[in-house]
Amino acid sequence: EADIYQTPRYLVIGTGKKITLECSQTMGHDKMYWYQQDPGMELHLIHYSYGVNSTEKGDLSSESTVSRIRTEHFPLTLESARPSHTSQYLCASRQGGDYGYTFGSGTRLTVV
């Protein structure tokens, strides 16, 4: 049973639309992350958070924003969707240093 949930699972949306991808975890983890996974499989860090009211930019953050108002919730917003945003988006959380990530099942976004 997944402890980290991403919705929607699949999304097809038109160019220029504003969208929010949801991510919630029930494990009480302070650290949360968003990754974009390209078709070649490589993971690109978009944003991360160390806890409530903390957000940091990753390598690929310029066209999106995040918020962390509650420990369990870390939504990702694309202000204006473009075809180049077509990708899989993975959310993850983490307990601490020696522990790895727990990943959600991902949101597959298609921008037409």
The size of the interface with another protein (CB under 8 A), counted in residues, is 23
Tell me: does residue 5 bind another protein (CB under 8 A): no
Eight-class DSSP state of 42: -
- What Rg, from alpha-carbon coordinates, does the chain have? 13
Distance CA 100, CA 77 (A): 25
Mention every residue, 6+ apart, whose C-beta is less than 8 A from residue 81: 13, 14, 15, 16, 17, 18, 19, 109, 111
Stretch binding another protein (CB under 8 A), from 13-21, 61-69, 71-79, 97-105: 97-105
Stretch binding another protein (CB under 8 A), from 13-21, 61-69, 75-83, 99-107: 99-107
Minimal distance in Å, beta carbon 65 to another protein? 18
- Alpha helices, H only, 2-59: none
Interface pick for another protein out of 39, 40, 83, 112 (rule CB under 8 A): 40
| Terminal-to-terminal C-alpha distance of the chain | 33
Stretch binding another protein (CB under 8 A), from 13-21, 60-68, 78-86, 104-112: 104-112
Question: What does the binding site for another protein look like in residue numbers (CB under 8 A)?
Answer: 6, 31, 33, 40-43, 45, 48, 50, 58, 90, 92, 96-98, 100-106
